[in-house]
Chain A
């Protein structure tokens, strides 16, 4: 939360409509995303109940588990989800064999309603990836494959810059501020309706209306307890009874359950695609393609590993792996912040708010200034100096390294910060280097800010410390548990009861 977002929320309260807090879209959005809305049975550890899933908004596919507490039916669900939807969708992005340094042209993107569905995906992956396809507890071959990929997707969802598995509430609330709390934004229906209410209603009214779970079933994976009590209990009992009879009675009972589950999923399906439309209405930010490139590369690498017969992911990371991963995630977070600020003036405004950036007008520009470095001969290095007059507080101190998003390759060092008489403006001197060609004359026009130009300078830079070196897992110190045994799936993993 920042003051700018808080202000946007206040404006949303006043106007009755959600307010944008981003001017461009900061997440990748596939041309053909796969929408996945899972439901689970209350009280059980990750017992799938139903899912509405597909990449065609006109043709959602309903998968239902008719006795969610029966482990065989759970695996049938997993197999059907794998074979009819998820695996063909993923495979569709992995045709051919790209070179060692190349990535597939595109990658799969799975959209789920919210963070709880990401957890569901992770746990479904966890409960299926170790399954054995032979022996007493054999499952269909597609089940552990599904587990492999769901685990991969859920892991990527923890990467701040990844869009492979995207929770819709998170994506929408990153771009719009509603007039309700963050907790209430977790409700997909009320969030979407704050942003885009039906005609004749304010966002506030539409969102409040969407809080009635009877009219607007929860987006899952948890179901409405009243639905469980009033509808589901009876239908599941009916199916159990009909199982003894079989034939038409059983088909009828299953049909009734499927129809009831569909009522709990259809509105969420529509909301998910409405969310897709809303996100598409924003132009894509400049750094999004680069981040998606990382996703494509990650997908490609993992597909290669998978096809080479890679083991399922371990239950837990060893100490070294965990530390390296954390460090990578932190770095990605920082990269995401910088990229977003460069792409989006509303994000940059947040840094101006905290003094990490300032905006002003260039009043002087010495394009041919050169500096003689100690011990070097010649004309000296080209170090133009500009003066920026800012009509706002400048908290950047002398010697700070700054960058102008319009000239991201050019480095600046603050030489002087001086409030002007009268206190209305601040005069900032910045020395520039790089990005001006190799000529011997002054910096060519257009390679650096010109007098009269409005510029933003920020201490946020795209330069990062190199990732710290971690020891090889084999060298894990004993204080961190010693070297982990290399992960090899054991029989125990596959035989774990799932009841």
Chain B
């Protein structure tokens, strides 16, 4: 750790202000991989700002919530597969990992003699997982791992880690979405895959820290355990997460280079809520919104399911009239033109000034589209029913001449 790094740490702490750093879990780290190009998100995440709180305070609460039924179901299914010495899980692991009959050890690392202190649990996990192989065990429940993100360590707890006679570890995920006739919800599988990749990296770090060959020992195939069909009977599948490993690695490396993003920002910039001693924020919301606005975002509709700042950024992008608000495909179909107003001006052939050469092709496309739309809408005369809809049937002024 060098001095430069400490400067960055101090700068990030200033950005965060008086708030406690947000703790990362695998879900949040996995979400970082969502929009790696967004500077706003990189800075807020690197500074461990609690985005959810900031978003609500500036008037754009994030629409993320999880139903208590979903949470209860998830923990009930977890408990079920781990009941009775993890009998169901062991039967599945024997099947998918080819465990020997003798490999039936089960160690609960959820506490150390009743103590749940994270540092202690992490040390215990490290000790147990790095023991000599013949004394190592098979199933490790509630292990606690560490993962370095943006210069800070986050503690992560995989559902379970399995160790096999060939000296390989497999990360095990237990999820309650069903696999019906061999088909599972693809977004659920994708989320499980990227989260398990985070665990794989954290586990590799742990082993490497003990002088072991973590990359070789932690398998890139993770085990996903889900209910089968409509019953509670569990079924295990192997997930190859090599691609996800690369994605997470790349994104995390990027966050470690956050100084490049911070450098041009005003030195006194902070996202502090300026809470009083009762925790009530005193900062003017508009002021905080301005501070957030200092860091450029790259909003796209994909942010809606992935980032707590999404509604704020969408509003900002809408006010700018960004074509990206409509989706990447729309922007591409409009020849890459970034502004709605400009796309429409080009489509209508309204100046001011000549079409810049680098937009000539895009202009040709949108003008042609505008002309064709105008012809089609007008060609068949009145379209019945549209009268009821205000604004419907807006026809673009025809562009002059074809191409």
A residues at B contact (CB < 8 Å): 1-11, 13-20, 23, 41-46, 123, 126-127, 176, 179-184, 195-197, 202-203, 211, 213, 223-226, 228-229, 232-233, 278, 280-283, 315-316, 345-346, 348-349, 352-353, 359, 391-393, 424, 496-499
Known A-B contacts A3-B333, A181-B327; the reply to A20 vs B390 at CB < 8 A is: no
Tell me the chain B residues, 350-403 only, with Cβ under 8 Å from chain A. 365-366, 368-373, 375-377, 379-380, 383-386, 388-394, 396, 401-403
Is there contact, CB below 8 Å, between A15 and B394?
yes
A224 CB contacts on chain B under 8 angstroms: 65
Chain B hits for A316, CB < 8 A: 181-182
Contacts of B230 in A (CB 8 A): 45-46, 127, 496-499
CA distance A233 to B73 in the complex (A): 13
Question: CB of B233 within 8 A of chain A?
Answer: yes
A315 contacts B181, CB within 8 Å? yes
Separation of A15 and B393 alpha carbons in the complex (Å): 11
A179 touching B385, Cβ below 8 Å? no
CB-based contact B304/A184 at 8 Å:
yes
A345 touches B391 (CB 8 A): no
Please choose the segment from B82-90, B102-110, B137-145, B339-347 that sits at the chain A interface, where 4 or more of its residues have CB less than 8 A away.
B339-347
Q: List, in ascending order, chain B residues with CB within 8 A of A346's CB.
A: 373, 376-377
CB-CB < 8 A to B302: which residues of A?
Answer: 183
Q: Which of B197-205, B244-252, B318-326 contacts A (4 or more CB under 8 A)?
A: B318-326
B79 interfacial contact with A, CB 8 Å: no
Q: Are A43 and B71 in contact (CB under 8 A)?
A: yes
A56–B67 Cα distance when bound, in Å, is: 32
CA distance A498 to B347 in the complex (A): 57
Q: Which of B69, B375, B388 has the most CB of A within 10 A?
A: B69
B231 within 8 A of A: yes
Docked complex Cα distance between A282 and B330 (Å): 25
Q: For B334, what are the chain A residues with a Cβ–Cβ distance below 8 Å?
A: 3, 6-7, 10
A391 & B402 in contact (Cβ 8 Å cutoff): yes
A125, chain B: closest CB distance, angstroms:
11
Contact B66 A45 (CB under 8 A): no
Q: Determine whether the beta carbon of A196 is less than 8 Å from that of B68.
A: no
Given the known interface contacts A3-B334, A42-B70, the answer about A10 and B231 at a Cβ–Cβ threshold of 8 Å is: no
- Point out which of B178, B334, B368, B385 has the most chain A C-beta atoms below 10 A from its C-beta: B385
Please tell me if B329 contacts chain A, counting CB pairs below 8 Å. yes
In the complex, the answer to whether B394 meets A348 with C-beta atoms within 8 Å is no
| Distance of A392 Cα from B333 Cα, bound (Å) | 19
B18, CB-defined interface residue at 8 Å: no
Q: Which partner residue on chain A sits nearest B374 by CB separation?
A: A349
Choose one: B321, B365, B380, B394; the contact of A23 (CB below 8 Å).
Answer: B380
Contact A180 B69 (CB under 8 A): no
Chain A CB within 8 A of B232 CB: yes
List, in ascending order, chain A residues with CB within 8 A of B331's CB: 6
Q: Which residue of chain B has its CB nearest to the CB of A199?
A: B390
Of A13, A202, A283, A315, which contacts B326 at CB under 8 A?
Answer: A13
Q: Which 4 pairs from chain A and chain B are nearest by CB?
A: A17-B391, A281-B385, A43-B73, A42-B67
Chain A residues within an 8 Å CB radius of B373: 4, 7-8, 346, 349
What is the distance, in angstroms, from A25's C-beta to the closest C-beta of chain B? 9
Contact assessment for B401 and A348 in the assembled complex, using a CB-CB cutoff below 8 Å: no
Residues 165-196 of B contacting A (Cβ, < 8 Å): 176-178, 180-182
- What residues on B are CB-neighbors of A45 within 8 Å? 177-178, 180, 227, 229-230
Contact of A14 among B178, B231, B344 (CB under 8 A): B344
A67 to B231, CA, bound (A): 17
13 example contacts (A-B, Cβ-Cβ < 8 A) are as follows A1-B329, A19-B392, A23-B376, A45-B230, A195-B389, A195-B392, A211-B63, A228-B67, A280-B385, A281-B385, A281-B389, A393-B368, A497-B232
A residues less than 8 Å from B304 (CB atoms): 183-184
* Bound complex: CA A11 to CA B71 (Å): 43
> Could you tell me if A497 and B233 are in contact, using CB atoms closer than 8 angstroms?
yes
Q: How far is the CA of A41 from the CA of B392 in the complex (A)?
A: 38
> How far is the CB of B368 from the nearest CB of chain A, in Å?
6
B253 CB-CB contact with A under 8 Å:
no
A4 with B369: in contact, given A13-B340, A44-B73, A184-B304 (CB under 8 Å)? yes
**A306 CA / B392 CA spacing, docked (Å):** 45
Contact A180 B325 (CB under 8 A): yes
How many residues belonging to B are interface residues under a CB distance threshold of 8 Å?
71
Q: Which of B71, B229, B375, B403 contacts A359 (CB 8 A)?
A: B375
Known: A282-B384, A316-B181. 7 other contacts (CB 8 A): A3-B365, A7-B347, A10-B344, A226-B65, A281-B389, A315-B181, A496-B231
Q: Give chain A nearest CB distance to B225 CB in angstroms.
A: 15
B372 touches A352 (CB 8 A): yes
A16/B391 contact (C-beta < 8 A), A10-B323, A23-B383 known = yes
User: With the chains together, A19 CA to B388 CA distance in Å?
Assistant: 13
Question: For chain B residues 47-78, which have a beta carbon within 8 Å of chain A?
Answer: 63, 65-74
Nearest opposing residue in chain A for B383, CB measure: A23
Bound CA–CA A392/B372 (angstroms): 10
CB-defined contacts of A183 to chain B, threshold 8 Å: 301-302, 304-305, 327
Q: How far is the CA of A11 from the CA of B343 in the complex (A)?
A: 10
Contact B368 A353 (CB under 8 A): yes
Q: Which residue of A lies closest to B61 (CB)?
A: A212
Tell me whether A10 and B343 are in contact in the complex, defined as CB-CB below 8 angstroms, given that A3-B366, A196-B389, A424-B401 are known contacts: yes
Assembled-state Cα–Cα distance A45/B228 (Å): 9
| Residue numbers in A under 8 Å from B70 (CB-CB) | 42-43, 225
Q: Which residues of A contact B325 (CB under 8 A)?
A: 13, 180-181
Contact A392 B391 (CB under 8 A): no
Inter-chain contact A197/B73, CB cutoff 8 Å? no
Across-interface contacts of A127 in B (CB, < 8 A)? 229-230
Q: Are B392 and A11 within 8 A (Cβ)?
A: no
Find the residue from A43, A127, A179 having the highest chain B CB count within 10 A.
A43
Given the complex of chains A and B, what is the CA–CA distance between A195 and B391 in angstroms? 9
A42 to B365, CA, bound (A): 46
Contacts A17-B390, A18-B392 known; A345 to B376 CB distance under 8 Å?
yes
List chain B residues, Cβ under 8 A from A228.
Answer: 67-69
Bound-state Cα–Cα, A17 to B390, Å: 7
Residues of chain A within 8 A (CB-CB) of B380 are 23, 345
Closest to B179 in A: A45
Bound Cα distance A6, B176 (Å):
39
Chain A residue at minimum C-beta to C-beta distance from B70: A43
Q: How far in angstroms is the closest Cβ of chain A from B329?
A: 4
What residue of chain B has the Cβ atom nearest to residue A282's Cβ? B385
**Which parts of B277-334 form the interface with A (CB within 8 Å)?**
301-302, 304-305, 318, 321, 323, 325-327, 329-331, 333-334
B396 and A281 within 8 A (CB): no
**Chain A residues near B63 (CB-CB < 8 A):** 211, 213
- Given A7-B366, A10-B334, check contact A229 B67 (CB 8 Å): yes
B344 touches A11 (CB 8 A): yes
Residue contact A43 to B401, C-beta cutoff 8 Å:
no
Question: What is the bound-complex CA distance between A45 and B377, given in angstroms?
Answer: 46
A302 to chain B, nearest CB (A): 21
Task: Identify the closest chain A residue to B322 (Cβ).
Answer: A13
**A232/B69 in contact, CB under 8 A:** yes
CA distance A286 to B287 in the complex (A): 58
Given known A-B contacts A11-B396, A20-B386, A353-B368, A6 and B333 have beta carbons under 8 A apart: yes
Tell me the bound Cα distance from A282 to B182 in angstroms: 41
A123 to B185, CA, bound (A): 12
Q: Which B residues lie within 8 Å of A4 (CB)?
A: 369, 372-373
A196 to B391, CA, bound (A): 10
| Nearest CB of chain A from residue B306's CB, rounded to whole Å | 11
Given A13-B326, A183-B327, CB of A43 within 8 Å of CB of B403: no
Are A203 and B402 in contact, CB atoms less than 8 angstroms apart? no
User: CA A123 – CA B230 in complex, angstroms?
Assistant: 9
Given the interface pairs A3-B333, A44-B69, A183-B304, the reply to whether A10 lies near B326 with Cβ below 8 Å is yes
**Given A126-B180, A345-B379, A20:B392 Cβ within 8 A:** yes
State in angstroms the CA–CA spacing of A281 and B177 once bound together: 41
